[in-house]
């Protein structure tokens, strides 16, 4: 475990002086701002090496503005991040600033691990932050975090593969799920071996989209399972048909990828799939990994749906550890991350399109073609997006695991779509203790 | 000591012994302290936690036997038990057979014994590491080494770690690959068998095979037993390989969900630390029962030579 003590080398002379003047007990408070020393904050996030490099730059820029605050970055990949965080929170050694997302702010907030942002409102302003995104960090009127940026699920298309197969790109403003399947089948026939029309589309956020288009949702506002078994059955009937048409990869390949969440390892990131669903802020990482320009589009079925299934949401949430000894400094740092154009110019769109309108305007000129595509995608989507997403209740962070397991059973033909649908609802209910 | 039998207590030797004791305890103190703080304390804490609901963040709440009751109808626990028992009962015999075969071969007077012994032992040192598990992903993945080899023979392989029927097999192979540790113990055991038994049997006309089954194997049974007990316990506690190869999920479809992995997932993934503690205590009971069974059965087949 990491200790919270300051770096011994730099503080050793301070300690020695204190020890000589008083007693050795004085060392413990060596990092108190009142004593004239610097405050050390720990900032944890997940992501790839590019994100780490950019974040280190942001930290350097922050430290230049605030010489008395030192920030130490701690990063791992997505899967390991939450395992590590749970352990650290339990041991009382979690970072001062914690990056969260999806249902995690509630998961931790409800358990008392996160600071109510209102308490540090004087240091951390949220008045310019997009309201919908801000809502993703608010539960029962407590603000557990501030959004890093705005994000949306999207259909990622690889035009080079469409071209190789001589299949025209779809009109994604009007396409339906039938169009999606038809195009996938066509691609499956015409693409060279080893390339796939689609990556297996099953993921919890797509179930959100698919059920919302039918007027349902994965979770209801009062924290229950909202998706019907009928919708789930239809979904898996579609994906198994894609598998049978060899439009999606063999079940074993999909299963292997479940344990590898990094964009670099995905079929889209390896340039092996023509269509996939992913979050818009992954566009840059995917494009870089694939080495080919990729496009972001609306998901199928939006124009003919009962209500649009897509929504805008906070891509990530910056939260402050309830147990931090430096609430004010942590708030100052988060304020810098979300409200400073200087930080925005470094992070750009990697953590979503900045939720602060001023920062968004400031970064526009600095964006590359791919990144400005992302901004355009979000801006075009904004008027067409559906209502804000109902974020899952406590326990719902188990849902992706439940879905992955059942999806493998379905893809290997061990469970029929209808049976898997029943099982999914049952298992999620048990996970959220409904 | 005799105690109060009316004779005068002999003071000097007692205090002398006490002083010796005191010194011993003083020297033991660091270990005792470590044992109490880092082993005994957590063990007792885990026993307490197993009767509570503990989400890591909020303080534990007393539940009584609820966690243990929940285990009775936990379908994932059942699949974890099936996976774990399959893993133990397949991988341990495979590993020990391989170890014994190699040990016998090396003991028959090969040149460069020291070299081979070190080379074969190497995997045992490495296999528990994360890097080897990552390597295993690459070897048995869809685009892995195994499939590239199969491709040369015109066979189209699947992703071995992605297929629920084969994923556990890759873990068994990985465990079998660590035959070096039991092999070294077997080698030491083989050296203990007096050469005169073999010579006498050879004079009586026993061939190599007969000598192996009639002399080597019976005299080696205590060593086989020792290795068996050790490797069974070890296999029950396997974690790293399954964790890394399945990306921490026990997937595909729970086919590599070893017991420890499920325990970890419940504790750190679902914040059910109380339930995870109960799982740990149940594992202790299972391992203890199997080890006891091992010792009971040992009376029937282990030959101590006296």
Residue A232 lies in a domain: yes
Contact A86 B142 (CB under 8 A): no
Q: Checking phi first, is residue A157 left (phi over 0); if not, alpha (psi -120 to 50) or beta?
A: beta
Using CB atoms, which residue from B163, B246, B271 is nearest to A259? Answer: B246
Contact A404 B251 (CB under 8 A): yes
Residue A115 belongs to domain spanning: 12-150+315-376
Same domain, A302 and A336: no
Whether the CB-CB separation of B153 and B208 falls below 8 Å is answered with no
CA dist B87 and A286 (Å) reads 38
Same domain, A18 and A117: yes
pLDDT single digits (tens) B167-222: 999 999 998 888 989 999 999 999 888 888 888 998 998 888 898 998 899 999 99
Residue A4 lies in a domain: no
Q: Checking phi first, is residue B55 left (phi over 0); if not, alpha (psi -120 to 50) or beta?
A: alpha
Contacts of B164 in chain A (CB under 8 A): 255, 408, 412, 414
Other beta carbons within 10 angstroms of residue B87's beta carbon come to 22
Closest residue in B to A93 (Cα) is: B57
Q: Which of A347, A376, A405 is the last residue of a domain?
A: A376
Same domain, A143 and A182: no
Residue A87 lies in a domain: yes
Per-residue pLDDT at A58 exceeds 90: yes
Q: Which residues 381-420 on chain A approach chain B with CB closer than 8 angstroms?
A: 395, 397-398, 401, 404-405, 408-409, 412, 414
Same domain, A160 and A122: no
Contacts of B245 in chain A (CB under 8 A): 259
CA dist A43 and A318 (Å) reads 10
Chain B contact for A253, CB < 8 A? Answer: yes
Contact B251 A405 (CB under 8 A): yes
Same domain, A126 and A177: no
Whether the CB-CB separation of A153 and A209 falls below 8 Å is answered with yes
Using CB atoms, which residue from A90, A252, A404 is nearest to B56? Answer: A90
pLDDT single digits (tens) B125-168: 887 788 888 888 889 988 888 999 998 888 888 889 899 999 99
CATH 1.10.3720.10 domain range(s) in chain B? 67-301
Domain containing residue A409: CATH number: 3.40.190.10
Residue A389 lies in a domain: no
Q: Does the structural domain B67-301 have CATH classification 1.10.3720.10?
A: yes
Contact B273 A108 (CB under 8 A): no
Return the pLDDT at A314: 87
Return the pLDDT at A30: 39
Contacts of A107 in chain B (CB under 8 A): 271
Query: Which residues neighbour B281 within 8 Å (Cβ) at sequence distance 6 or greater?
Result: B46, B47, B50
Number of separate domains in chain A: 2
Same domain, A200 and A305: yes
Residue A326 lies in a domain: yes
Query: Which residues neighbour A53 within 8 Å (Cβ) at sequence distance 6 or greater?
Result: none
CA dist B56 and A86 (Å) reads 7
Contacts of A79 in chain B (CB under 8 A): 247-248
Q: Which residues of A395-414 are buried (b: 16+ CB within 10 A; e: fewer)?
A: bbbbbbbbbbbbbbbbbbee
Q: Which residues pair with A151 in a beta bridge?
A: A313
Contact A405 B142 (CB under 8 A): no
Using CB atoms, which residue from A112, A405, A408 is nearest to B57? Answer: A112
Same domain, A175 and A305: yes
- Number of alpha carbons in the 13 Å side-chain half-sphere of residue A72: 14
Region A380-403 average pLDDT:
89
Return the pLDDT at A284: 86
Same domain, A226 and A136: no
Contacts of B138 in chain A (CB under 8 A): none
Same domain, A51 and A26: yes
Chain B contact for A430, CB < 8 A? Answer: no
Same domain, A297 and A338: no
Using CB atoms, which residue from A112, A258, A398 is nearest to B252? Answer: A258
Residue A109 lies in a domain: yes
Candidate from B100-114, B174-188, B280-294 with smallest mean pLDDT: B100-114
CA–CA min distance A283, chain B (Å): 23
How many Cβ pairs closer than 8 A exist between chain A and B?
A: 94
Closest residue in A to B141 (Cα) is: A256
Residue A390 lies in a domain: no
Contacts of B247 in chain A (CB under 8 A): 79, 258-261
Closest residue in A to B140 (Cα) is: A256
Residue A7 lies in a domain: no
Same domain, A300 and A167: yes
Q: What is the CA A391 to chain-centroid distance, rounded?
A: 13
Closest residue in A to B257 (Cα) is: A405
Same domain, A125 and A188: no
Element (H, E) at A21: helix A8-21
Using CB atoms, which residue from B160, B161, B251 is nearest to A408? Answer: B251
pLDDT single digits (tens) A198-253: 999 999 999 999 999 999 999 998 999 999 999 999 999 999 999 999 999 999 99
């Amino acid at each position: 475990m990491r200790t919270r003590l300051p770096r011994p080398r730099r503080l050793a002379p301070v300690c020695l002086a204190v020890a000589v003047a008083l007693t050795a007990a004085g060392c413990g408070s060596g990092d108190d701002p009142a004593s004239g020393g610097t405050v050390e904050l720990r900032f944890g996030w997940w992501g790839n090496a590019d994100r780490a490099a950019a974040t280190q730059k942001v930290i350097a820029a922050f430290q230049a503005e605030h010489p008395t605050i030192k920030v130490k970055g701690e990063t791992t990949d997505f899967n390991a991040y939450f395992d590590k965080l749970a352990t650290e929170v339990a041991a009382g050694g979690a970072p001062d600033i914690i990056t969260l997302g999806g249902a995690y702010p509630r998961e931790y907030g409800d358990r008392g691990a996160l600071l109510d942002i209102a308490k540090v409102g004087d240091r951390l302003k949220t008045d310019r932050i997009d309201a919908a995104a801000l809502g993703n960090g608010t539960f029962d009127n407590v603000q557990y975090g501030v959004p890093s940026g705005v994000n949306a699920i999207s259909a990622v298309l690889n035009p080079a593969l469409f071209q190789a197969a001589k299949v025209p790109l779809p009109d994604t403003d009007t396409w339906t799920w039938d169009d999606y399947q038809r195009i996938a089948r066509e691609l499956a026939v015409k693409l060279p071996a080893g390339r796939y029309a689609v990556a297996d589309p099953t993921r919890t956020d797509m179930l959100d989209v698919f059920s919302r288009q039918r007027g349902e949702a994965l979770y209801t506002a009062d924290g229950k399972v909202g998706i019907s078994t009928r919708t789930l059955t239809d979904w898996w009937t579609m994906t198994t048909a894609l598998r049978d048409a060899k439009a999606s990869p063999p079940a074993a390949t999909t299963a292997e990828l479940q344990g590898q969440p990094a964009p670099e390892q995905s079929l889209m990131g390896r340039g092996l799939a023509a269509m996939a669903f992913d979050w818009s802020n992954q566009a840059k990482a995917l494009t870089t990994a694939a080495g080919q320009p990729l496009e972001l589009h609306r998901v199928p079925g939006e124009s003919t749906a009962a209500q649009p299934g897509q929504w805008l949401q906070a891509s990530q949430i910056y939260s402050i550890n309830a147990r931090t000894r430096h609430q004010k400094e942590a708030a100052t740092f988060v304020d810098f991350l979300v409200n400073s154009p200087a930080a925005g110019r470094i992070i750009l769109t990697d953590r979503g399109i900045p939720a602060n309108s001023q920062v968004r305007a400031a970064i526009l000129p600095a964006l590359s073609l791919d990144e400005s595509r992302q901004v355009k995608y979000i801006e075009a989507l904004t008027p067409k997006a559906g209502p804000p997403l109902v974020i899952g209740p406590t326990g719902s962070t188990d849902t992706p695991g439940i879905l992955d397991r059942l999806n493998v059973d379905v893809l290997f033909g061990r469970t029929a779509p209808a049976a898997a649908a029943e099982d999914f609802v049952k298992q999620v209910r048990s996970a959220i203790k409904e | 000591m005799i105690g109060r039998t009316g004779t005068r207590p002999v003071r000097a030797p007692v205090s002398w012994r006490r002083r010796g004791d005191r010194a011993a305890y003083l020297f033991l103190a660091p270990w005792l302290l470590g044992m109490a703080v880092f082993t005994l304390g957590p063990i007792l804490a885990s026993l307490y936690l197993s009767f509570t609901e503990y989400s890591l963040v909020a303080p534990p709440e007393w539940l009584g036997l609820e966690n243990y009751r929940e285990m009775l109808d936990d379908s994932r626990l059942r699949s974890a038990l099936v996976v774990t028992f399959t893993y133990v009962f397949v991988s341990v015999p495979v590993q020990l057979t391989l170890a014994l075969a190699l040990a016998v071969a090396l003991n028959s007077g090969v040149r460069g014994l020291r070299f081979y012994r070190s080379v074969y032992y190497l995997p045992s040192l490495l296999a528990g590491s994360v890097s080897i598990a990552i390597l295993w992903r690459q070897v048995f993945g869809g685009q892995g080494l195994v499939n590239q080899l199969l491709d040369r023979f015109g066979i189209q392989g699947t992703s071995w770690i992605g297929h629920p029927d084969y994923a556990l097999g890759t873990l068994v192979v990985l465990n079998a690959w660590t035959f070096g540790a039991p092999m070294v113990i077997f080698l030491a055991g083989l050296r203990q068998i007096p050469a005169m038994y073999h010579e006498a049997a050879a004079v009586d006309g026993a061939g190599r095979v007969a000598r192996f089954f009639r002399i080597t194997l019976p005299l080696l049974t205590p060593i086989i037993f020792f290795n068996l007990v050790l490797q069974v316990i070890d296999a029950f506690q396997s974690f790293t390989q399954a964790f890394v190869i399945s990306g921490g999920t026990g997937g595909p479809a729970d086919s590599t969900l070893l017991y420890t992995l499920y325990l970890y997932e419940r504790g750190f993934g679902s914040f059910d630390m109380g339930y995870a503690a109960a799982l740990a205590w149940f594992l202790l009971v299972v391992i203890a029962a199997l080890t006891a069974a091992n010792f009971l059965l040992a009376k029937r087949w282990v030959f101590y030579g006296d």
